[in-house]
Amino acid sequence: MPRIRVLPDQVANQIAAGEVVERPASVLKELVENALDAGAMRLDLAWEEGGKRFLSVADDGCGMDRDELYLALERHATSKIHSADDLGHLASYGFRGEALPSIASVTRFELHSAEEEGAGHRLRAEFGVIKEVQPAPRSRGTSVTIRDLFGQLPARRRFLKGTDTEHAHLWGVVTRLALATPQVRWSVRTDRGAELVLPPVADGGARLAPLLGERLSRLERFSEGTPPWSLQGWLSPPDLSFRDRSHLYLFVNGRSVRDRLLLAALAEGWEGFFAKGSYPAVVLFLELPPEAVDVNVHPTKAEVRFRDPHRIFPWVSRAARDAWTGLKGGLASVLELPPPPGPAIPTLRDRVGTQEHPRLWSAHPSEHGGGALAALESAFGGDRFDTRPLDPVYPDGPLPVLAAEAPASYAAAGLKLLGAFQDTYLLVEAPGDAGPELWIVDQHVAHERVLFERLFLRRHAPATQPLLPPRVVQLGPAAVSRLAPFLEAMGAIGLEVEAFAPDAVLVRALPDFLVDRDPEALLLDLGRRMAGGGGATLDSFRRDLNAELACRAAIKKHHRLAPDLALGLVEDLLACEVPHTCPHGRPILKKLTLAELERSFGRRS
């Protein structure tokens, strides 16, 4: 039987390198973070062949003396902490003292440093073995150069990707760290001739365009709270979305992190603003007291653990939702043509006046069969609500084109109904800063948005339907324990649920329009939401219920609307907080400018 023995330091360092050094990008991250911890205000980076052959990081930090060069390559030698108590309130990027010895064990390594101008020493090592240390004068600061990554570990080197892929990962590290350090001057040079110089700036927003591209310079700033509990950042308006989450940048106390709780909180915040399968761009900086977050939970410190996740989740979710609610995005164009030069498209609500006009619903039940709103209000006011889809009655007949006899409020707003395509898409002429625009409005989702905002903002409990007899639902101990603190609050969303056993609850009533739903599936879904944080997720669940109710009650496609009702719907939509998308994230309006139309017909270039 093999005997237990202590591994040689070189082997131990190479094992540690397996956790710390995954690829050239992870080497770059560790070296830059060391430089920032040393107080660097200037960073000069260079690499060749995606960092596999050569990578260098130079800084103007505090530097090291000759003895510290040796100590820097000892495992668990660090200047960041001095006792176990320091782990509870870390303010530095690094603290374990593993990065440099791990990197040196798998590369040809050079460390050149000086504490004062004109002093300095250079240490050279090869794959964990120090070869020499010599005097080498230089300016104050440190430079680390590595060559031939995994040169003596062919099995590890084979797992590296192609040069293009490694090159992209290196730029990803630069992007995240440069976003977090606007006060630092950065310069990057590669063997591809690509060079980036970022001067120090007071406002981190100035880094968005050079690092993320001109398209993301449209991101809007938002903030919440005051130090030591604060969050700030930038996010894209609803008309700027992407097909994946690659444009989400999350930082906790200046550290770039991957965190499922923050992602889930942001996802709850953007729910209803972006269509399913579309994602926003977000740069989020969360600042917390050091003792409120544990960064010592991942080998590369890429993940964190919050001391109080039930405080973090609703805070981030509500701040993000409030920010998206207040954003001023434009309408998406029907044609994928570049917009004409000129000022930005104003917010939708800036286009119209505030005059009253006929609505899709009526204040008098005798008009239009009571209207959709009357039917919805009965569900929230105690009357029995029919769970079948609601199709309000509207005057039938042909849909004429509005002419000069259009109501005065529409004329003042500059809106003119041209017709309807398939009795589903309203065609509206509207004024724009660059000339007339044609708006195409999906009447169903437009009505859905209007009804949803009226329902959700009122915060009325829906009518409930008792279950006779009440139903015992076995959810399991974990799910029951998650739901227990919120049983009373569930009454606000029409769920009457009581504790029954350690692994079961008793369901006495459901929202009237969900009586055909399986209570077990409904409660399991709610339990999963509760796992992230109570207040915000209960609101999210109620928002989903209201969205379903609004969808059922909204006018359907192929339903002919009278002209005054059609234009009334458009004006009501423009008064909504979020006029761009329905509660499920589907777009409501598309626009086609006169310039785009003329370019498509070759009338202008």
Same domain for 534 and 562 = no
Same domain for 187 and 89 = yes
Total residues found in the chain within this entry = 605
Residues 384-404: pLDDT tens digits? Answer: 223 333 333 223 333 222 233
Residues 566-583: pLDDT tens digits? Answer: 888 988 888 888 888 888
Please enumerate in sequence order all residues whose Cβ is within 8 A of that of 488, keeping only pairs 6 or more positions apart, or say none.
none
Residues 180-191: pLDDT tens digits? Answer: 999 999 999 999
E strand or H helix at 450:
helix 443-458
Whether 499 and 505 have beta carbons less than 8 Å apart is answered as: yes
What is the extent of the structural domain holding 279? 213-326
Q: How far apart are CA 473 and CA 387, in angstroms?
A: 23
Query: What is the pLDDT at residue 538?
Result: 64
Confidence band of 487 (pLDDT split at 50, 70, 90): confident
Query: Does the residue 320 lie in any domain?
Result: yes
Same domain for 495 and 450 = no
Helix runs in 271-381, H state only: 309-326, 371-381
Whether 266 and 320 have beta carbons less than 8 Å apart is answered as: yes
The arithmetic mean of pLDDT across residues 298-310, rounded, is 78
Same domain for 445 and 527 = no
CATH code for position 497? 3.30.1370.100
Whether 35 and 60 have beta carbons less than 8 Å apart is answered as: no
Q: What percent of the chain has pLDDT over 70?
A: 75
More confident residue, 402 or 453: 453
Same domain for 377 and 311 = no
Whether 308 and 532 have beta carbons less than 8 Å apart is answered as: no
CATH code for position 365? 3.30.1540.20
In whole angstroms, how far apart are CA 375 and each of 220, 352, 381, 385, 566?
38, 28, 10, 8, 19
Same domain for 583 and 538 = no
430, pLDDT greater than 80? yes
- Give φ, ψ of 581 to 5 degrees: -135, 155
More confident residue, 14 or 35: 35
Pairing of strands 42-48, 185-190: parallel
- Give φ, ψ of 95 to 5 degrees: -165, -10
The arithmetic mean of pLDDT across residues 262-266, rounded, is 91
Query: Does the residue 207 lie in any domain?
Result: no
Nearest Cα to 597, choosing from 486, 447, 432?
432
Query: What is the pLDDT at residue 372?
Result: 37
The arithmetic mean of pLDDT across residues 509-513, rounded, is 77
Nearest Cα to 295, choosing from 240, 254, 326?
254
Question: Looking at 168, 198, 228, which one is the last position of a domain?
Answer: 198
Q: What mean pLDDT value characterizes the chain?
A: 78
Query: Does the residue 91 lie in any domain?
Result: yes
The arithmetic mean of pLDDT across residues 485-504, rounded, is 82
Q: How many structural domains are present in the chain?
A: 4
Nearest Cα to 22, choosing from 239, 211, 300?
300
CATH code for position 107? 3.30.565.10
Q: How far apart are CA 269 and CA 519, in angstroms?
A: 26
Same domain for 43 and 192 = yes
Q: How far apart are CA 362 and CA 197, in angstroms?
A: 61
Same domain for 294 and 352 = no
Query: What is the pLDDT at residue 282?
Result: 96
Lowest model confidence (mean pLDDT) among 106-110, 259-263, 335-339, 559-563: 335-339
Residues 37-56: pLDDT tens digits? Answer: 999 999 999 999 999 999 99
Confidence band of 273 (pLDDT split at 50, 70, 90): confident
Query: Does the residue 577 lie in any domain?
Result: yes
Whether 500 and 494 have beta carbons less than 8 Å apart is answered as: no
Q: Is 27 helix (H, G, I), strand (E, B) or coil?
A: helix
224, pLDDT greater than 80? yes
Same domain for 472 and 431 = no
The tokens describing 226, both together, are 């005051």
In whole angstroms, how far apart are CA 404 and each of 351, 359, 399, 429?
20, 20, 16, 14
